[in-house]
Amino acid sequence: MIQLSGLVICLLLLAADAAMADPPPMAKPNCQDHCGDISIPFPFGMGHNCYMNKWFEVVCNTSSNPHKAVLSGIDMELLEISLDDSRVRVNGPIQSSNCSNRRRTNNNSAIISLTGSPYSFSSFNMFTAIGCDTSALLNQVMPQITGCTTTCSANGSSSKACSGNNCCQTTIPTSIQVFNASLEGDSGCKLGFIVEQSWFRHNITSPWEVQHMLTVPVLLDWIVQDDDFKARAKDSDRIDCANSWWRRQDQERYSYMEYTFPNSSCRCIGGYDGNPYLPDGCLGKTSVKKLASFYKKLIFQGQMLCT
């Protein structure tokens, strides 16, 4: 009798382990979920029918090493996607003026317009200007005037901090979609860019390092507009989180939608992992884990081994 129940427990444990070993899907069925090391979860996707709409299309260049992902709708190189925060990290441009040793960017490619797209600059970025006696201004973000001015002391050891001497920073207005800076001043090389602030603080040692970079990391917020949900609801790929809380009978899978009508984002509820944008995308892993560790302990003390 003890043997038999041990066997039952073993089978239960194996079933639980199998459930745990199965990670929740991130991409749509039959779609690639990675470009190189970059995870591409739906609503993003690569290839026909794999993304929600053109703004979430990712083109993966497999001939570059490492593979390079581009958000083709806004023509920016993609570094990371976060579903939880509705944010992407991309490579952003650097505007420059009078920099002799800087590779010239073609035409106006240093200007970004995200107007009409679901992307906007996140408030985790700062507008940053580098140069001597430089006055930097963000154009086309009226009515606010956003900019800063640098002074011009000799480059000292204190140049790490961007606090006015050869480097200045300012916060950007909420949800701006255009980057087009003016850089004014008579002397030397001047740079202007929007940059992920924690990267700028922690990953570079001197502001002048940026002079030799072609791009800087930038965080963009993204939203899913309600029309997309309506459109998807018509076919089999309907997004269940559009109906607020929901539940399937055989397995516990939950997601909910955060309403900022008509723009929205989906979340898995606490303790559930996965992709809330896919039907059955949120998987209740926590309860399975607890169950498995409980049975493991029981079996260990009873000297019972699963083979």
Binding site for ligand NAG (CB under 6 A): 61, 63-64, 98, 106-108, 111, 118, 132, 139-140, 152, 154-155, 166, 180, 186-189, 199, 202-203, 208, 217, 223, 225, 260, 263
Smallest separation (angstroms) from ligand NAG to the CB of 82: 13
- Please identify, using beta-carbon distances, which residue of 1 and 154 lies nearer to ligand NAG: 154
Q: For the chain, give the DSSP string.
A: -HHHHHHHHHHHHHHHHHHHHSPPP-SPTTS--EETTEE--TTSBSSTTSSSSGGGBEEEETTSSS-EEEETTTTEEEEEEETTTTEEEEEEE-EEES-TTSPPPSTTTT-EE-TTSSEEE-TTEEEEEESSS-EEEE-S-TTS-EEEE-B-----GGGGS-SSBSEEEEE--TT--EE-EEEE-SSS-EEEEEEEHHHHHHS-SSGGGGGG-SEEEEEEEE-EEHHHHHHHHTSTT--GGGGSS---SSS----EEEEETTEEEEEPPTT-EE-TTSTT-EE-HHHHHHHHHHHHHHHHHTT----
- Please identify, using beta-carbon distances, which residue of 119 and 295 lies nearer to ligand NAG: 119
Smallest separation (angstroms) from ligand NAG to the CB of 250: 36
| Structure-token pair, residue 260 | 């900022």
- Please identify, using beta-carbon distances, which residue of 132 and 220 lies nearer to ligand NAG: 132
- Please identify, using beta-carbon distances, which residue of 55 and 295 lies nearer to ligand NAG: 55
- Please identify, using beta-carbon distances, which residue of 54 and 247 lies nearer to ligand NAG: 54
- In angstroms, rounded to a whole number, what is the distance separating the alpha carbons of residues 180 and 158? 29
- Please identify, using beta-carbon distances, which residue of 133 and 237 lies nearer to ligand NAG: 133
Smallest separation (angstroms) from ligand NAG to the CB of 23: 23
- In angstroms, rounded to a whole number, what is the distance separating the alpha carbons of residues 79 and 260? 27
Smallest separation (angstroms) from ligand NAG to the CB of 208: 4
- Please identify, using beta-carbon distances, which residue of 16 and 81 lies nearer to ligand NAG: 81
Smallest separation (angstroms) from ligand NAG to the CB of 134: 10
Smallest separation (angstroms) from ligand NAG to the CB of 109: 7
Smallest separation (angstroms) from ligand NAG to the CB of 201: 10
Cβ atoms of 129 and 109 within 8 Å: the answer is no
Phi-psi region of 62 (alpha: psi -120 to 50; beta: other; left: phi over 0): alpha
Smallest separation (angstroms) from ligand NAG to the CB of 30: 23
| Structure-token pair, residue 256 | 């909910």
- Please identify, using beta-carbon distances, which residue of 67 and 296 lies nearer to ligand NAG: 67
